[in-house]
A and B are shown apart, each in its own frame.
Chain A
Amino acid sequence: MIYLFYFSIILIANIIQTTDIIKFFTLMGQVQPNFILLIVIFVNIQEKNSIIGEGTGFLVGLLEDVLSVGLFGLNAFLKTIISFVVNLFKGKFYIDNFFFAFLFVFLVSILYSLFYLILESVLVGNIPFGQNFIQLAFPSALYNGILAPLVFPFLKRVRNKIILFNKGK
């Protein structure tokens, strides 16, 4: 049941991210949140089993690769690494706190963008690294950081209810 929940929120995040719905969340014409990354972070924080979290990261990244026009495998690679990093620091942050949730997601987002831009630059080339980082990656990381303390408690509540429901069965 809980995997169905993960699958559902990943699907919803993908739908939002890959359809025109994202324009409702777009600020200043180009700054968008990365809902898929947010969900990967959430799953990895909540899931005690790191294998599931990292597996989720890999599969979600692979799905993103299928849909995106970039280097195939890059998103799968990065999401796996990000999942590993989140698992590494999981429990060291009190994520229910608004500020820590913001800071954690902001830093992870920055790290993700940095990895992404570096790998794109190395493997594909011709990427305006600085411009992309300042104009897109940094505001997007801020956006993710702000959204995290708003989205995570809601998702956590649903997840807990599902777990309670399962236990009740």
Chain B
Amino acid sequence: MIRSFISLNKRYILLITYLLVSFFFMIVNSTSFLEKTKIFFFNMVSESQSFFSDVENSVGDFWYSIKKMRDIKKELQLSYEKIQLLEDASIEIDELRKENTKLKTLLEYKNSIKFDTFSATIVGKDPKNYFDTIIVDKGKKDGVEKNMPVIAYQNGESGVVGKTLEVGMNFSKILLLTDNDSYISALLQKSGYTGLIKGKGLKKHYVSFIYVEKNALVNFGDRIITSGQGGLYPKGINIGLVVDVDNSKSGFYYNEIKVLPIINFSKLEQVFIIQKHQSEELNKMMRP
């Protein structure tokens, strides 16, 4: 009878047993026997737990490394972008600094010039290659007129650039002294002998000093300046330095004196247009 009762109610008997055992454990929770038993099983289980934890840690470390690498890659990319931005900014700052220094120098020069000038920026070059001309951003609106002398400042020295050839409303075309059609009355600064500076084209890199008497002693490095004759250019503006003297032909004048312009036209960015009336007045004042 007991056996059949047990077999019929096996589930509930077991259930009650589980619950009673659990409850018993809860009651005798603090006894040393249970503590020891718990520690014994805990040591057993924790060994395997430690093993799995190590495995998990290794796997975790591996995944963490991959994740970290991905993060580092992203950070690196961001850093590269930042560096690029900083480099760009640095270049820009350098450019601005250079520009600032240049403008300061030009301003100092402008203040030191004894003429009234318009400061103009070169905005282009004549698209046709027949003439040595440049285009600047000042025109009639700014008071620029035709045949105004144009000078520039480079490496601490001022020099002739040319003259205004065509004047638009906002822009002007300047004929460079290197142009084949450019003639400037000039003189040797040291001896005072006069002549004409004639352009030879930009490709030649030099201009000719012609109609110079052979009596004049001409040496390498002699400075040529404007003579003030002709009424266009004020007297005393640098033109260039003598680089070669050709005395091969007989006659009253030197065959050719090669002069390297003070101004390097390939590096030219800013010019000063001398107001016409002033140059004329200055010439009148300088004439004997």
Q: Mark A residues whose CB is within 8 Å of B.
A: 15, 18-21, 50-51, 54-55, 57-58, 61-63, 65-67, 71-74, 76-77, 80-81, 84, 123
- Which residue on A lies nearest to B34, using beta carbons? A72
Tell me if B10 is interfacial: C-beta within 8 Å of chain A: yes
Q: When A51-B14, A58-B22 are in contact, do A67 and B29 touch as well, CB less than 8 Å? A: no
Would you call B46 and A72 a contact (CB within 8 A)?
no
Question: Which residues of chain B from 4 to 62 have a CB within 8 Å of any chain A CB?
Answer: 10-11, 14-15, 18-19, 21-26, 29, 34, 38, 41-42, 45-46, 49, 52-53, 56-57, 60
Q: Are A51 and B22 in contact (CB under 8 A)?
A: no
A20 partner, pick from B10, B14, B24, B57, beta carbons under 8 A: B57
Partner of A73, one of B15, B24, B57: B24
Asked if A58 and B11 sit within 8 Å, CB to CB, the answer is no
Contact B19 A81 (CB under 8 A): yes
Interface SS, B side: helix
Choice from A51, A61, A67, A81 contacting B42 with Cβ under 8 Å? A67
Q: Are B15 and A54 in contact (CB-based, < 8 A)?
A: yes
Taking the nearest CB of chain B, how far is it from the CB of A117, in angstroms?
15
Q: How far is the CB of A8 from chain B (nearest CB, A)?
A: 13
Q: A77 and B11: CB pair below 8 A? A: no
Decide: A66 and B45 in contact? CB cutoff 8 A. Answer: yes
Q: How far is the CA of A9 from the CA of B261 in the complex (A)?
A: 94
**C-alpha gap A105/B251 in the complex (Å):** 120
CB distance from A22 to the nearest CB of B (A): 10
Say what secondary structure dominates the interface of chain A.
helix
Q: Are A15 and B49 in contact (CB under 8 A)?
A: yes
Instruction: Judge whether A84 and B15 touch: CB under 8 Å.
Output: yes
> Which residue on chain A has the smallest CB distance to residue B35?
A72
Q: Is the CB of B11 within 8 A of A54?
A: yes
Query: Contact at B21–A76, with CB atoms within 8 Å?
Result: yes
Specify which of B22, B49, B52, B56 is in contact with A77 (CB 8 Å cutoff).
Answer: B22
A58 near B56: Cβ-Cβ < 8 Å: no
Q: Please determine whether B45 and A63 come into contact, CB atoms closer than 8 angstroms.
A: yes
A15-B49, A19-B49, A67-B46 known; A76 vs B11 contact (CB < 8 Å): no
Check A80 against B34 for contact (C-beta < 8 Å): no
Partner of A72, one of B14, B25, B56: B25
Hey, which chain A residues are within 8 Å of B24, CB to CB? Answer: 73
* Residues of chain A contacted by B19 (CB below 8 angstroms): 77, 80-81
Shortest B94–chain A CB gap in Å is: 49
Q: Which residues from A are CB-within-8-Å of B26? A: 71-74, 77, 123
Q: How far is the CA of A123 from the CA of B53 in the complex (A)?
A: 32
The residues of B that contact A71 with a CB separation of less than 8 Å are 26, 29
Bound together, the chains give a CA A50 to CA B15 distance in angstroms of 10
Whether the Cβ atoms of B10 and A51 lie closer than 8 Å is yes
Which residues of A sit under 8 angstroms from B29, Cβ to Cβ?
Answer: 71-73
Can you report 16 A-B residue pairs in the complex whose CB atoms are below 8 A from each other?
A18-B49, A20-B57, A55-B18, A58-B18, A62-B22, A63-B45, A66-B45, A67-B45, A72-B25, A72-B34, A72-B38, A73-B26, A74-B22, A77-B19, A77-B22, A80-B15
- Chain B proximity of A121: nearest CB distance (Å): 14
**Least CB distance, A90 to chain B, in whole angstroms:** 13
